Structure 1
Amino acid sequence: MATCGNILSSEKAYDYNCTPCSQQERFVEAKRFCIECVEYFCSTCLAHHEKFGLTRGHTLVKCEEVSKINVPTPLSKCELHTDKEEDMVCGDHDVVCCRVCITKKHRSCQNIDYLPELARQFKDNGRRKELEDDLNDRIEELKSALKGSTARALKLKTRQTTHLKRLDIFQKSIVEYVAFLVNKTKNDIQNQFGPEICSIQEHLQKYNEQLSKLNNLSEVLSNENDEIFEYKKVLKCKHTLKEIQIGGNELDDSLASYNKFENEVMEAVVSSLNDGCLFGTVPILGSKQPIDVTSICFKEDKTSFLILLADFYNSKIRRFENGLNETESFNAKENIWGVCEVNKHEIAFTLPALKKVQFLSAENSQVLEKKFHTNIHCRGIACLNEKIYVTGGGMIGEEQGQLNVFDMKGKLLSKYEQDLDGYFFSTPRSIKVNAEGIFITDEQKGVVCLDLEGQRKWVSNNSKCKFSWGICFTSKGNLFVSGQLSNNIVIVSKDGEFLGELLNENDGLSAPKALSIDKRNNCILVSELKKPNLKMFYIGDCDI
């Protein structure tokens, strides 16, 4: 059964039903189709169609030929002038309207055209393709703008959340710190004034006793009339006077110094404000060498979380538990570069100079589990599906930068160094791995992504991120990447598209290195070059 656009066809009795009759719920076989009216007509309706001058000259075709010809689209009626068709176009305003509207509203417009003719020209001269290209270009521009705006929104939200969170931390910290200082100072005051007060009390008691004794002697002397007895009492009085010593009335000015203790409290608070310890940083203490955290591993379970830091210069794995307080450290006695979680019970770290991967107990950082040699100057390390991924090489005097994959016993499974397009890496740094692929920061090439079979997927090397170092996943599998020389953290999509900047120098970043997400506190932990602390930036519910 044939159909054409909005043309009514029926399954009642005929292949082609008369349109006017069908509108009256009568089904009569159509004999002809009018191209201008875009309707089927039976013999009776066709006779009426031929009577009127307006329709007498219309083009009529056999019904079965409708599918073979280009039937024009029926024109819509004007909303303002319902008896008129919208057959005109005002190019100045890009609107379709009827001839009355043209006369009344668009009399001064220059670009007036007949709609069917203009539509035919548009299709014939390729302008449709131009418009489609323009639309596609604008769609891509909007997609790019959307991604950029999303990144900027996250940047602003991160700044806002970080400032608010740091103020909350400051308020709590300052109260706790001042309370600590006040209690400490109270103890100092007690310790300094207490002994002196006790000494004075002893003097007062002694003076009262001596005064009482002298008063008694004075009274006895004044009432004695016998010369012998009087002289004996005189001798006793002289002996008593020799025993009495008066002293200790001088006040220790150092103890009475005006505002001494209050000033000490104020100076301690000001000192803490200046070093930023009350604004959400995690101090790393007790090191003789400069602290340089090259890698951060965040490990959590249902009841606790653990942060492990690779302190390169001090050759230590530093351990921070629930309260972000350092609890213990493991001294490897050799420079440590990377650290990662292997499983619930183990972590692993790299020793570049020894070309070795060492395993460590996650429960007790003093217990060594096992080790294996890599034969490369190993740095970045990650673990997925019982495989250890290790980056290394690329520095002066070292092997070519590469990625090696080992099993849990240290057997080399794969080595990824280059493909037909050249070497993958110059100097590979940090590494993250998930089901989407292998993501590696590189000193010169930015971020390099390989699939799990070692095939190059993409390289993202944006000039806004210089000397890429740290890397971690966002909640949606995209990437945060630190630029050590550009002093910033940027966002790169899982497909390698540069989405924008998250943090920079205006947020207090200086030579950022290692990165990790603290999911419990919704914040990014960032180490900086040779800085004795971690900085915390609160990203809230990260939607990127």
Structure 2
Amino acid sequence: MASNMEGSIHRGCDFIFDFSCFTCQENDRNTEAEFYCEECSEFYCSKCMEYHNYFYKKHAILSKENMSLWPKTDVVEQGKCKEHRKEKLTIFCEDHSELICHVCHIHHQKCSHLVLISDKMKQLNQKGDFKQLSATIYAQHQQLIHEKDDLEENIKSLEKSYTTILEEIKTLRKTINDSLDQLEKNTKKELDTLLVTMRKSIQTDIEDCTKSITNITCHHEDFLKIKDKSEALSFIKYRKCIDQSLEVESALQEMATETEMRITFRPDTTIQQTLSTLSGLGQILRTVKQSHPAKRTTQNTDSRQNKPKETTQSDPGHQTTLGFKVNKSHPESSTSRSYSPENGTNDLTKSGQVSDPVSSSSHQLVQRHQPAAVKKSDKIMKVKSSKRYSVQIKDELYTCYINGICETASGELLLTDQNNNTVKLMDQTYKVVAQCVLPLQPWSMCSIDSSRVAVSYGWDKYRGSGRGNYHEVHFIRVINGQLIKGRILKLHRYCIGIAHQDGNLYITDGRALYLYTLDGSLVREMYKDTSSYNTVTSCAVSPDGDRIYVFNNSKQLVILSRDGTVISTLTDISLKSPSDVIPGLHVTDLGQVLVCGFSTDTIVQVDRDGRQRLAEVVTAIDGVARPTSVYYSKNTGSIIVGMVNNYDIIVFKAG
């Protein structure tokens, strides 16, 4: 009895190995196999292998180093119970979807759906589930083959497009080189022409000098020869010498007034400035052609618990698509306070349709075999923890006023400090490491590329004081932890809000939104509102460029389409700001819209189309006081908030 008890305990503590020693199993032991005998077709541990080799010295043995040559798991072994190695699997527990042996049955006595495997097989055969499964597997096999072929073709296409693009880059570089060569030829030709002209002018003066030297020398020599021979001739020569001397004196005075001729070269700085603003010869874009995925082929055939419960239209809280049940409501947390839409639910796409974030610019809806889901752009942001970091620089005259935040590709932060007329650079540890002083107060900032930003300034709170004559956009680049000033766009209107997307520069002047190119050329007026003062101040644009957001101090957020058509207007009293504050506005890479509620000490998230507020992401409880800027860092997964008259920024870790 004790021996049986001990064996039972031993077996109950066994590990499950992919390959177990055959001899040990025969002796109620569970040991991992380390060798396989091709002659015996059995697995052995190292100890049992010694006995085997004693009797069978010529058998071919495969060690673990040659495990790839070992046979796959034995079918007989698959039919054995993992817990009780000598028992066969004979029963299927539908409550737990588990195969068991008759010994395991003691642990499933309370289960209500136990069926013999033989009976289950009869049911499956009668229903034709095996044929259906076989057809499904065959269809999936064919789909995988087609998918593999498509992917292999895709690789060939990528390599071909890579070669084509390389040729395009070389051609573009050659075109640029040819253009530069032509500019060099034109400049050299101008230099050659100028040299010839100036040399000719100087040569003429040299010839005049030589002629005058000859004349005055001859007259002087003649005068000396006849001076004592004839008074009349001497006087005549005297007069000629006097006349020649006067001519020479006049010529010498004229030459004395002329400055030395020089040739200088003044390079056209436009070329270098333009090149310094570029990060490459063009943009390398990743485009995805979204195809309709194949229909779902797998079926739920054997597990009762996997069958979906039926839902009807009387269940408003759920929607069923393809046998899955989805809850439409958003889970709440203590740091994210949701606001229900007017219809009681958040905007959902039609069943089975969601907007593809990769190909959204093509305005196509793609079918997906999944439940209806909230758009990524409307996924509510939540915060878990926060930390404050100082942005003060030694000897600053005023309290900091952070009204703009951007990020480089390497995770450095750029901040505009309106009170101190500076752009500040913070490293990845949130330490201020550099600053760039501007001539006037910065009002807005946007990213241009991975290391460059554009800052608008020139408009201030005292328009009647004679200040604010500069209306400019200043480009600043981060290089080796330093802020380097670049080119400046001088515009003929106020520069307040600024945003950038794919080479398009959006600028507001307080009453209108304008579209510019990066070189400062005005494309057109996008939107205008002259109903009151400061009606168009902040602006932002969605990552795909399909939505443009303009905001003002009087609690209105206006959403425009790509062509400037007004899509919607959201009025929210909690978003009202004083007239001298440009309210903070930011759109994340996923299209989530964050707005600063200055007067209510909140950061509010609204939906992509601006028809409703979704949540207060952070509030005064979280330490925010009069926020003027907000930014989501994809590098750290954090929401960063800047405030007025505050030496700190707050970094919230987003969940």
Give the structure-1-normalised TM-score.
Answer: 0.46
Structure number with greater Rg is 1
